[in-house]
Structures are given as structure tokens and as C-alpha cells.
Structure 1
Amino acid sequence: MAEQPAAASGSGDPPQPEQPSKNALKKAQKEKEKAEKKAAAQARELAERQKKEAADAEDVSKDSYGELPLIGSAAFKPTGTPRIDLSTAADNEDKEVTFRCWVENARVQSAKLAFVNLRQGLNTVQAVAAATDGVSKQMVKFCGNVSTESTLVVTGLVKRVKEPIKSASIKDFEIHILKLFVEVKAEVPLPLQVEDAERPLPESGLGDEDEKQTESNAKPLVGLNTRLNNRTLDLRAKINHAIFVIKSGVCALFQEFLSQKGFVLIQTPKILGAASEGGANVFEVKYFDRQAYLAQSPQFYKQMLIASRFQKVMEIGPVFRAENSNTARHLTEFTGLDLEMEFQEHYHEVMSVLEDLMLFIFKELNARYKKETELVRSAYHVEDFKLPESGKVPRIPFQEGIKMLREAGEELGDYDDLSTPQEKHLGRLVLEKYNSDFYVLDQFPLAIRPAYTMPSPHNPELSNSYDMFMRGQEILSGAQRIHNAELLAEQMRKHDPPIDPNGPGTKEYVDSFRYGCPPHGGGGFGLERIVQFWLGLPNIRMCSLFPRDPQRVTP
């Protein structure tokens, strides 16, 4: 019998697929849910985009706000719309005005209301963006989110307010915004908040160690180094604008007064062949194949012009002093207000002109720059500057000043130079005795004055020289100058250190007196010191746009 084949295993039905595990089912379900969520998010995003596009299409203000192309870089047709100065806001009540400004701060109050504080120069105004038939919610949102310090062109209605606005200098009016365009957007965050630069310096005035100091209301007090390192932002502060408006005013008043007295404005070289004041406090520069020096003063040239028959000269220009003095009243580059004049019989004639010049400047600062002065002093709380009358400026002989200080407990010799603390001490004594913050010390010791200073006829140890002081600190050094070539050469040789009257850069100066020169005198003011002491500022660097001292040559 033939062998039968073996029976097949199983029932003969096709094989069944394996059932998925529980984990695989869960994973599949998660993937499905994830896909559904993604699809739903995409649908929502599409719906939101379509809604926004629809809303934008319906934005009634779409042509009244936004960012303008950079002026000069793209085709742009000027509107020709007249621009106003914010100082004239009160003259434009209920009128539509357009002006350039920048943002002090902006905030969204609600979907239909935003406030923007705007500034132009020293003037600030509150502006309101409110949703109306002509102003959309989108525009309100845009206005309330403009970055601080951005430059804007704003059009709006000037409206009187019921209650004074405390946060703006223009208190009785606000701007109801009709158009707001960003001309230049400010980057954020700012390295220095302009608002912080409005507050006074920390007590020490210098150093980043002061950064953590705060006022009682927890607002930061930013140190001077940080401010100077970010000077373009720091200078935006209203208090700094006021300082430099006053500084400009001092220069204008200096020229105004002296022009009326017949002084001629001059410009003298600042690259010299010899140090104009002698000594070591001079910056040397390589001048082609030889050595030259930056001018410590215009002294030689002022005198040479008197010898040239210019009877009265004045100059406003830079002065360079290589003094390694890191004090609150020294700079290595400052602005000198200089004058020189011939006199008839006595050098006190020159002192009288200088005294009346300063009294004129002080009085006109009070009259013409009262707003700026009060703004700065409101931060530093200095006493008003006490002025004597013309002809009554205290003139104190140097020896008497020494006596006053000794009687007050100071120890110093008859011919010692005064230290800064001693000067300040004497200033307090003079204020107490004469009720004046401005005074003159006369007849300084000859040994501590420049070689061109005329010796005193009363005491060979003294000289016909003087300093002027504000709040007990020196602002001017002046004297009768030697106008005889032989005497000048003799004094130069005696000077410590000696100066060669036949040396390069000095021979021409000495020779200018060999051909007949009238008696003359003058002085040089430090412009930044006048501003510092007038306003009661703690540091002279605040009075220089981009100060130079032994540690700083940038920005």
C-alpha cells in the first residue's frame, strides 16, 4: 500500500495577524490626538490671520500711523505740513498741530486708550490716543507700544485739561493724537535710562561702585562713569540740556559785555613751539620733524597782540593742561574765556573790568536763564548765588586772606599757596563777613605765579596778580604782565624752573616787547568752573560735553 502523506498542521485556515499590544494602541492614539491638535492650532492660526487681515482691511486709521521710511534713503514725498514748537502749544488751543518729538514713555491703558509722554527740547506734553470713529483700536495699541526714545512726527488737537498734568512741563494742555508716525525707532533695551540721568549723582559723584545706590523711593542713582560711557543718552536728560544752554549763555554774555567795552575777538594758535605757562604740565606732540606743545593758554599771543597795538582782546577757546589731577574740578582739556587789555595807570583798572564782567554775567544768568538755572538747582538744592554790587566786590589782599585762615585755625606760611580745602574755607569766611559768593584775592606771592607776572612794588616777594573765586573756588587767574623785554628775560631766567628767553617759541614773545608795549593785564577764566559753581554741581565733568581727564579720552 502506498504511504499516505503526513497530515498538515492546523485546521487548514490561513494564518491570523498578531493583535497590537496595548502600548502600541496608546501610542497610535496619542499620535492621532497630536495630529488633531496640530490641525486645530493651524486652523485657529489661519482663522486669526484671516480675522486680522479682515480687521486690517477695516482699520480706519491704517494711513494715520506706522513707521516711515528712513528719510533720505527711500523715495518719499514731503508733506510740506508746517511744524510747531511745543513751547507754543498754549497759542494753538483747539487747533490741529504737527510736530517732531521723541517718546519719554508710552503705555496702553485699555484696548481703547493709550497715553504717550512726548518731549521736544525742555518741553514735555501728555498725548492721548483714544479709539473713536477716526482712531482705531489698532492705532491705539500701536501708540501705546512705541519704544522709549523713538523719534516721532505727531499730528493732534491741542486741548485744555481740567486738572494740571503733573508728569509734563506743559501742564494745562494735552495732545489728542490724530496721526503718529515713527521716523526713527529706538532699539531696546537702552544701556541707560534717560529718566535715571535726570536724578542727581550719587554722593561720591564718580565710579561704578555707586550704581547700586538708590533714592528713598528705590529709584537707581547712576554713577558718573556709566553716564559718561553712554554720553549721548545721558545728554538727553533735561537737566543736562539746561546745563549746556547755560554754558552757551555764559559765552554769549562774555562776548556781549566785552564787545560793548571795545574788545576784539581773536583766535590764537593751539599748537605752540614752547610751553606758554612753563613747567611740566604741558602735552607734547610730534609736529613733523620736531617737538611742539598744546597750548596751556593763549597768554603769549594775547600779550603780543597788545604789543601789536590791539588795545583790548578776548578769546574763547580750548586750553590743555597735563595735570594728573583726578578731582571734581579739574579737566585736562577745558574752555578758556580769556581777555587782555592795556590800562592807563594801575592794574586794578583791569580788575574792575573783570569784576563788572562777572557781575554782568551773574545778573543776566538770573534774568535770561532763570528757568534752566532753577531746573538744575532743583536736583542739587544749592543756595542762591549771593552777589555784591558793582564796585563793592570784596578785594582781599593775599596776606589778609592768610590772616583770616590762621585766625580760623589753619596753619600756613606767609607765602604758601592755598590748597583746595583752604580755598573753600576762605570762601566760607568771606561769605560770612561780606555776604558775597564772589570775591578777589590780590597780590599773590611771586614765586607761585608765572614768569611773565609783574613783581609788586611794595614787596618783592609778592606780585601784581589776582585770582577770582566763586563759592570759595578759583575761576580766574590774572595779573599785570611784564611789558619790558629786559625785565621779562630776567624774570624768566629766575623762574623755577628757569625759562630760556632766547629759546624756540619764547624768543619771538620776548622780542615783541622791545619795540614799545603799553602796560597791560588780563586773565583767563575756566568756563566749566563758572558753570559748575554757579549751579552748585558736584563734578566739573558734568559741564563738559565729552570730558577729558587723566583717565578718559573717549567717547
Structure 2
Amino acid sequence: MQRPLLATLDFAWHLGHSSGLRKKRLQPKLASSLNAYSQLPLCGSKDFKPTGTPRTNLVDAADNEDKEITFRCWVGNARVQSAKLAFLTLRQGLHTVQAVVAVSETLSKQMVKFCGSVSTESTLVVAGLVKRVQEPIKSATIKDFEIHVQKLFIEVKAEVPLPLQVEDAERPLPNDTVVDEEQTQEEGGERPLVSLNTRLNNRTLDLRAKINQSIFVVKSGVCALFQEFLSKKGFVLVHTPKILGAASEGGANVFELKVMEIGPVFRAENSNTTRHLTEFTGLDLEMEFQENYHEVMGVLEDLMLFIFGELNARYKKETELIRGVYHVEDFKLPESGKVPRIPFQVGIKMLREAGEELGDYDDLTTPQEKLLGRLVLEKYNSDFYTLDQFPLSIRPAYTMISPIDPSLSNSYDMFMRGQEICSGAQRIHDSALLAEQMRKHDPPIDPTGAETKDYVDCFKYGCPPHAGGGFGLERIVQFWLGLPNIRMCSLFPRDPQRVAP
């Protein structure tokens, strides 16, 4: 509803069957008010003549001081202050405004009562004067103006009671919940904090909250910035097939030039954590390089620095709103503009010095990744860094062996706030070497099998050296904003326990 599709309704239609004689018998004020409020017929169910009335977005209300505007909105709340006065909080996208309904020469007590009793989350079409207030309105995002209602029509009435109050969805999740159905009392004995499961079970209401709308504005921005940066670098957007005749590590791996893709990724693992989804959106790219795979790492790092910088510039309001709810610190980036690039073995050394016990070629656990993130932040003052030269044994079979140490590989991961957002590598581009590495893999992979033959064969025809990586879109959004659960970053999340709504 941030940019609502405003239906053109004939506000007088519902009065068409009232006789002129009856109107003459009514008091002038009441007769006037009858044309100013009602519940409209369902849009599209009746023949009507469009009014052509211009509609205004609430964000532009300040540009219409002392003018009457017409707009569609949801009701945040409505209350009757007295027989002659009612207040409403009206919401449109990320913006809320206070509305006043007061008895006057043209507005009756009946209209005040009608407006003050509108059920929360009903959809309205409102016409009113934009008036400046003397003191800022604390309960609305538009603080210097209010709407003096002249007409108010219920377009769609919300049922009572609601399964979830949108104002509850604006508040943080309980500290100790992942998908817990229990409601936890907020500190200070205030209203209980609503669990994630309750919110996701009522996702259509949950998504109306400003904080959730802001999340998806930022998410949309990350996608747009990803494509903007790479398009300027000459990348071509492709759409690889998702239905394959065999298992695949990634569809983009067979391309030879600069390609990128934004598409769904499905994870066949029983991962019930705050950073895993069964279905997520992948931001993938693959490109050839001239001499060293670090050329590709540089593109990936520059890409993320561009995204971070533009998120700060273009989506500052949404970012600050969300971080303010969860009291999250700003995302720190290196002042030099150079991303910390840490060899895996150096990372192991840093963890050992911090008291961790692990071998030279052990994979990092999630707690160890988070600890390393804190150590990097302390040393480099950066929440974003790259870990390079992973052990070969923990990477896919198509990963190029390191020329420095055959136990290592030309592969890398990228991290935000100590958690992985990207995994990438130089791919083996020689069919003989690829077949050899597949046979050595644990467990071994048959390079002539139906599942792998096409992939191996494509490197028999002269493929240049190439590398790439895949980002998890929801993780980027989660860690940028500092959200406690990745499910908040998926419109209708799918995990091992949830396939609806």
C-alpha cells in the first residue's frame, strides 16, 4: 500500500435510493453528513461512474497544507474522545498520520460516532484538510500535520477480533525465540511480545507493519544494486533451469563469460537455525579471469562495498527504522576502502590465540565463525571480510587445487558480522583434472555418470579459467539490518517445519 492503486468510486452511489422528500425532512447538518460517511459497496460489484478525484500519497501530505486531499489507507486505531470528537491513526505504507473528526456545521455527531468505531485494519477512502499542528504528534510518522476529516468511507471492513495486531508486529521478537509459540512478557510488564510463529501464521497482517515493509524495501534494493553494479561491468543476466535430470552444485558453473543470476535456491537439509531457509534467493555470478582468481574476488568485494554504500545512501530511513527497533549498531566498513582478505590458516591462528582448539584443515563451526568475526572487527574495524584458501577437503570436487599447498584450494567465503553470506571459488576448467579430482573426492564421484558427464564434457572444448560465487540474499539483508531471524527476510518463509502460508 506504499503506492496504492486507488479505486475510483462514486461516493454518492449508495445514496441513490434515498428519496428527495426524506432528505428535506433531515436536519441540514445530518443531511450533509450522510453524503460524507458510509460503508461503500464492494469495489467492482456495482456499476459506477468514476469520480476522477485525484488521489494523494500520505508522504506528500506536507505539500498540500490547508488543502483537501483524498487517499486510501488502513486504520491503525480509532477512538471516540467525546460525542463531538474522534481521533484515528491512518496508515499508508511506511507513513502514519493522525486524523481528527469533529462536529461542525457539516459534520454530525453520528459521523463522529461512525468514524470513531471503525474496526482496526479496515481499508478506508478518506478526504480531509491537511492542517499544521502546534506540537509534534508523537504517535505518527507524520508529526507536523494532521488530517481534518471531511469524508470517510469504509472500502473493506476488517473482522473483529484480529488474530494479530499490526502494532504488535512493529515490536521486536522475544529474545529467546526462534519459532516458539509461547508469548514472552516484555520487560516492565507491558504487552507480551508476539512469537515468530504467531506472526508467520498471520503473515498477511504481519507484513503491514512498517518494520516489515522496510525489510522488503531494503531487500528489493539489494537485488537492484546487485544487478546495477554488474550490468555496468558487462555482466549478462541469465536464467538457468531449475528442473534438472540430475543433481547439480549450481547452474551458473558451466558458463564461460560474465553472467549473473537472481533466482530461487532449494536447500535439502534439515537446518532449523536462525540463518537457514529451505528456499532462499541466490545472487550468483560467474566470470572468466585473466591470470589469478583474486581478480574475481576483487569484483565480489567491490560489488558488496557498492551495495553497502548505496544502502546507506538510498535506504537510510528504512535501515535506521529497523535497527532502531532491535538496537543494532551501524555496520562497520574499513575506512581504507580495502576489504580485509584473510588466509584461512591465518584465521585458524587467530582463533587458536583466542583459545579455540582446531586443526589446520578443520572446517569452522558457526560459533567459531562468529568469534572470528569479532576478532576481525577488533583488528580491522570491519564487519565485512573475506576468508581465502579453504582446505580442499571441505570444498566441492570442482574446486581448483591451491598452487601454494595441495591440501588447500583456490576458494573463499565472505562474511558479514561474523556469518557467511557468500561461498565461491575458482572452478577446474580442464576435463581431465576435473575427472581426477572427482574420483579422489570423499565420497568418490563418477565423472562418466549420468549426473556428471555433461558437466565434465563441457570442459573438453576450450574453456577459459573462471571463478564465481553465490550470495544468499536473505542473509545479506538479515546481517545488514541486524535482524535476529532470517525468516523475517522472506516474504513467506519455507523451512523444514513450514510450508504455509
- TM-score normalised to structure 2 length: 0.93
Q: Secondary structure at the match of 2:142?
A: coil
Q: 1:317 aligns with which of 263, 267, 283?
A: 263
Could you tell me whether the CA contact under 8 Å between 2:29 and 2:107 is conserved in 1?
Answer: no
Instruction: Name the counterpart of 1:188.
Output: 160
Question: Do 1:160 and 1:173's aligned partners in 2 also have CA atoms closer than 8 Å?
Answer: yes
SS in 1 for 2:265: strand
Aligned CA distance change for structure 1 residues 217 and 484 (closer, same or farther; 3 Å): same
2:296 partner letter: V
Instruction: Name the counterpart of 1:147.
Output: 119
User: Does the 8 Å contact 2:135/2:144 carry over to 1?
Assistant: yes
Whole-angstrom distance in 1 between the partners of 2:178 and 2:57: 36
Distance in 1 separating the partners of 2:364 and 2:434: 26
Pairing partner for 1:304 from 242, 254, 259: 254
Three-state SS of the structure 2 residue aligned to 1:60 is: helix
- Pair 1:156-2:147 in alignment: no
| 2:65 paired residue among 71, 78, 93 | 93
How do 1:13-28 and structure 2 match up within 5 A? none
Shift of the 188–499 alpha-carbon distance from structure 1 to 2, 3 Å rule, reads same
- The partner residue of 1:361 within 281, 284, 307 is 307
Equivalent in the alignment of 1:14: none
Q: In structure 2, which of residues 217, 226, 230 is the aligned counterpart of residue 245 of structure 1? A: 217
Aligned match of 1:545: 491
- State whether structure 2 residue 122 is matched by structure 1 residue 172: no
Q: Does 1:127 align with 2:73?
A: no
Does 2:282 match 1:336? yes
| 1:83 equivalent in structure 2 | 55
Question: For residue 42 of structure 2, what is the aligned residue in structure 1?
Answer: 70
Cα separation, 2, equivalents of 1:222 and 1:501: 52
- Is the CA contact 1:468–1:476 (under 8 Å) kept in the aligned structure 2? yes
SS in 2 for 1:396: strand
Structure 1 equivalent of residue 385 of structure 2? 439
* Larger Rg, first or second structure (1 or 2): 1
Q: In the aligned structure 2, how far is the partner of 1:220 from the partner of 1:112? A: 34
> Deviations along 1:443-465, whole A, 9 cap, x unmatched?
00001001110010111110000
Q: For residue 131 of structure 1, what is the amino acid of its counterpart?
A: V
Q: Report matched runs for 1:412-491 at 5 Å.
A: 412-491=358-437
Distance 1:70 1:390 in 2: 59
Q: Percent identity among equivalent residues?
A: 80
- If the length of structure 1 is used for normalisation, what is the TM-score? 0.84
Q: Could you tell me which of 457, 468, 472 is aligned with 1:522? A: 468
CA–CA distance in structure 2, aligned partners of residues 57 and 540 of structure 1: 54
Number of equivalent positions: 478
Per-residue CA deviation, residues 347-393 of structure 1 (Å, 9 max, x unaligned), is 00000000000000001000000000000001111111000256621
Counterparts of 2:106 and 2:361 in 1: how far apart (Å)? 79
- Return the alpha-carbon distance in structure 1 between the equivalents of residues 247 and 389 of structure 2: 24
Matched, 1:376 2:348: no
| Cα 1:56/1:544, change in 2 over 3 Å | farther
Contact residue 253 and residue 361 of structure 1 kept, 8 A = yes
Cα pair 2:71 2:127 within 8 Å, conserved = yes
Contact conserved, 2:221 with 2:311, CA < 8 A, in 1?
A: yes
Amino acid paired to 1:235: L
Deviation at 1:546, TM superposition (A): 0.7
Equivalent-residue separation in structure 2 for 1:400 and 1:191 (angstroms) = 52
Tell me, which stretches of 5 or more residues in structure 1 are unaligned? 1-49, 278-298
Equivalent of 2:84, from 112, 132, 137? 112
CA distance in 2, matches of 1:355, 1:261: 14
Give 1:33's aligned residue: none
Q: What root-mean-square deviation, in Å, do the aligned CA atoms of Structure 1 and Structure 2 show?
A: 1.5
Structure 2 residue runs without a partner (length 5+): 1-21
Letter in 2 for 1:304: V
Q: Which amino acid aligns with 1:450?
A: P
What do the CA deviations read for 1:145-171 (whole angstroms, capped 9, x no partner)?
111000000001101111111111110
Matches of 2:241 and 2:114, distance apart in 1: 55
Residues 494-524 of structure 1: per-residue CA shift (max 9 Å, x gap):
1122222222242111111100000000000
**In the alignment, does 2:324 pair up with 1:352?**
no
Q: How far apart are residue 213 of structure 1 and its match?
A: 2.2
